[in-house]
Structure 1
Amino acid sequence: MTEDDKTGISHLIEKELNSADKILKPDFNQKTGRELLAFYLQSKFKQVLAYDNKAAEPIFVEVRYDFIQKFSRRLIQNPEKRIMIGITGESASGKSTICKEIQNVIKRFNMPVTILTTDNYFNDISELIKKFGTFDNLRDNGYDVDSPNSFQLDILKEDLDKISHGEDVYSPEYLLNGTGVSVPKSKFVPSNKIVVVEGMASMFGENKDIFDIKVYVETDLELRKERFLTRAYTERNQDLENAKKHWEYILGAGEKYVKPFRSEADIIINGDTNLTYFSQILEYIHTITNNFEV
Structure 2
Amino acid sequence: MTTLDKPVVIGIAGGSGSGKTTIAHEIAEGITDQDRIVIITQDSYYKDNTGVPMEERMKINYDHPDAFDMPLLEAQISQLLHRKPIEMPTYDFTAHTRSEKTIHIEPADIIILEGILVLSNEDIRNLMDIKVYVDTDDDIRFIRRLERDMKERGRSLDSVINQYLGTVKPMYHQFIEPTKRYADIIVPEGGENNVAIDMLTTKLRSILIDKDK
TM-score under structure 1 normalisation? 0.62
User: Which amino acid is 2:71 matched to?
Assistant: D
Task: State the secondary structure of the residue aligned to 2:47.
Answer: coil
Pick the aligned partner of 1:212 from 122, 129, 147. 129
- Counterpart of 1:45 in structure 2 is none
Which structure has the highest strand share of the two?
2
1:219–1:272 contact (8 Å) kept in structure 2: yes
Check if 1:200 corresponds to 2:116.
Answer: yes
- Counterpart of 1:269 in structure 2 is 187
1:99 positional shift: 1.5
Listed one character per residue, the Cα deviations across residues 155-177 of structure 1 (whole Å, up to 9, x for unaligned) are: 1111111212222211211123x
- Counterpart of 2:170 in structure 1 is 252
Check if 1:104 corresponds to 2:21.
Answer: no
Measure the CA separation in 1 of the matches of 2:186 and 2:87: 30
1:213 positional shift: 0.9
- Counterpart of 2:96 in structure 1 is 180
Measure the CA separation in 2 of the matches of 1:216 and 1:231: 21
- Counterpart of 2:6 in structure 1 is 81
Measure the CA separation in 1 of the matches of 2:201 and 2:124: 29
Measure the CA separation in 1 of the matches of 2:14 and 2:201: 24
Measure the CA separation in 2 of the matches of 1:244 and 1:235: 16
Please say which structure displays the higher CA radius of gyration: 1
Aligned-pair identity in percent equals 25
Task: State the secondary structure of the residue aligned to 2:38.
Answer: strand
Listed one character per residue, the Cα deviations across residues 220-275 of structure 1 (whole Å, up to 9, x for unaligned) are: 11111211122222332322111111111201111122111101111111234436
Measure the CA separation in 2 of the matches of 1:272 and 1:155: 28
1:115 positional shift: 0.8
Measure the CA separation in 1 of the matches of 2:97 and 2:33: 34
Q: 1:188 to 1:271 in 2, by over 3 A?
A: farther
- Counterpart of 2:44 in structure 1 is 120
Task: State the secondary structure of the residue aligned to 2:43.
Answer: helix
Q: 1:207 to 1:185 in 2, by over 3 A?
A: farther
Task: State the secondary structure of the residue aligned to 1:211.
Answer: coil
CA RMSD of aligned residues (A): 2.7
Matches within 5 A, 1:58-69: none
Equivalenced residues, count:
206
Task: State the secondary structure of the residue aligned to 2:118.
Answer: helix
Task: State the secondary structure of the residue aligned to 2:52.
Answer: helix
Measure the CA separation in 1 of the matches of 2:195 and 2:130: 21
- Counterpart of 2:78 in structure 1 is 161
- The gaps in structure 2 that reach 5 residues or longer are none
User: Which amino acid is 1:220 matched to?
Assistant: D
More moved, 265-274 vs 187-196: 265-274
Check if 1:225 corresponds to 2:124.
Answer: no
Measure the CA separation in 2 of the matches of 1:147 and 1:185: 24
Measure the CA separation in 2 of the matches of 1:171 and 1:226: 29
Which structure has the highest helix share of the two?
1
Measure the CA separation in 2 of the matches of 1:173 and 1:195: 18
2:187–2:196 contact (8 Å) kept in structure 1: no
- The gaps in structure 1 that reach 5 residues or longer are 1-27, 29-78
- Counterpart of 2:17 in structure 1 is 92
1:184 positional shift: 6.3
2:150–2:157 contact (8 Å) kept in structure 1: yes
2:27–2:201 contact (8 Å) kept in structure 1: no
